[in-house]
Every structure is written in C-alpha cells, then in structure tokens.
Amino acid sequence: MSRALVYCGFLHQPEISLPRAGVSSAEVRVMAEREMRLLWSEVEWPFTPEQMQKNAVEFHGVVHHVFRQAAVVPFRLLSVFEDEKAMATFTAENVDAFIADLERLKDFVQMECVVYPAPGRTQANSSSGAEYLREKAGMLRIIEQHVNDVRERLGALAHEIRVRETKNGTRIFVLTERGRESEFRSTIERIVVPEQLARRMSGPWPAAEFLSERVRAPNIAADAK
C-alpha cells in the first residue's frame, strides 16, 4: 500500500530550490496552503526494517536541502498520512500555527552543545553508596556551573536557550541568528571545559526545539501505523 510521507514545511519564496527525489527515489511533491508549502512523497508503506537507515538519510537529505536556504518545520520520519486528501485536511487545520512558527523562526537556526562526564573517568569509592551519591551530586554541580558559563558567555548570540537532561548528557539548545554559526562555535570553544567533563557541539539544525507545542507534536492520525 502507499502513504503520503511529509518531509517539512516552509514559507514560499520563489528562489528556493527543491529536491526532485526523496525517500526510495520517490518524486518530491509540493502542497500549497496560503504562503506555506509542504514537501511530500507518495511512498510504499510500511518501510522495511533493513531499509530504515537508508530511508532516514534520504528523508533528512530532503529536509536539509530546504533548510540550507530557509527556515523549516521538520516532520518525523514516520509522519505519514493515509492519502493526499488526509494531508490536505491536516494542512488546512494547522496552517496558522505553522506559519506563525515559521515567521517567528525565519531568521534563526538551532545550535547544540552536549555536556557529559569525561569518558574513562573512574569513580572514587564506587562501592560505597554514600560516596557514589556525593560524587554524583558533585558532578551535577559541575555540569550546572558549566551550563551557566555557556549561558553567560553566549550573551546576545543566544536569542533563546533551552536545557534538557538526556541519557547521553545535558543538552543545551541555542536559538541563534542564521549566519552567526561560526561566531557561536568560536565562542563555545573559548569556554574552558572542566577536566571532569567532555563537550561536543553540533549544528546548524532546524529550530525544532523552539517550535510551539502544536507544531512540534502535530496530531497525525496515520502516524507510524
């Protein structure tokens, strides 16, 4: 069976170039609703597990083709609709929220830092529960202080900052102006990393962390089915 797979939404600009092919070499199509555009393809569904990695690379290739030129609202890889009609209904119901976010974020990109305990660090007295808890609390304080240092040093470079704890460490999401990515990197690189920690940067990415809740988690009936 086939499904309508959606890649991303963006605001129409005549100069934006679009990719011709997407997941599984399917034609990339455009749905228009007022000034918003959605890129989508008709794909065979469900995806086979052995093709998922390849499909993901192709999916993100379409998103980043547009993102290099303009702000986008990226959809999840498994954001599929029963058919084009269902997708058109969804678009008409959500167009105001999408346009509002795209207008708000049109001049910004998302940069990220992840801070985590340095690899290979041995924990002192790990056999003692009390010592372990003290060391863990100390590590959290060091991470918190480093996050605060990042906030302070970024200053006006950061239009907005959000911090989230994950299993891979503390992630710092920074909304910064498009075109200032190199300035962001050089600023972060000048911040000394405590010997107990490691840090890595990535970006630019679409500003997915800063989308409104309605746009970040849209209600798609056929999603992942």
List the CATH code of the domain at 108-209: 3.30.70
Inform me whether the pLDDT recorded for 219 exceeds 80.
no
CA-nearest of 104, 98, 78 to 31 is: 98
* Per-residue pLDDT, 103: 98
Whole-prediction pTM value? 0.90
Cβ-contact 177, 159 below 8 angstroms: yes
- What values do phi and psi take at 218, rounded to 5? -65, 150
Q: Six-digit token pair at 67?
A: 């993102």
Task: Name the residue ranges covered by the structural domains of the chain.
Answer: 2-106, 108-209
Concatenating the DSSP letter of every residue in 35-50 gives: TEEEEEEEEESSPPGG
144: which DSSP letter? H
* Per-residue pLDDT, 127: 60
Average pLDDT for residues 2-15, to the nearest whole number?
96
* Per-residue pLDDT, 92: 95
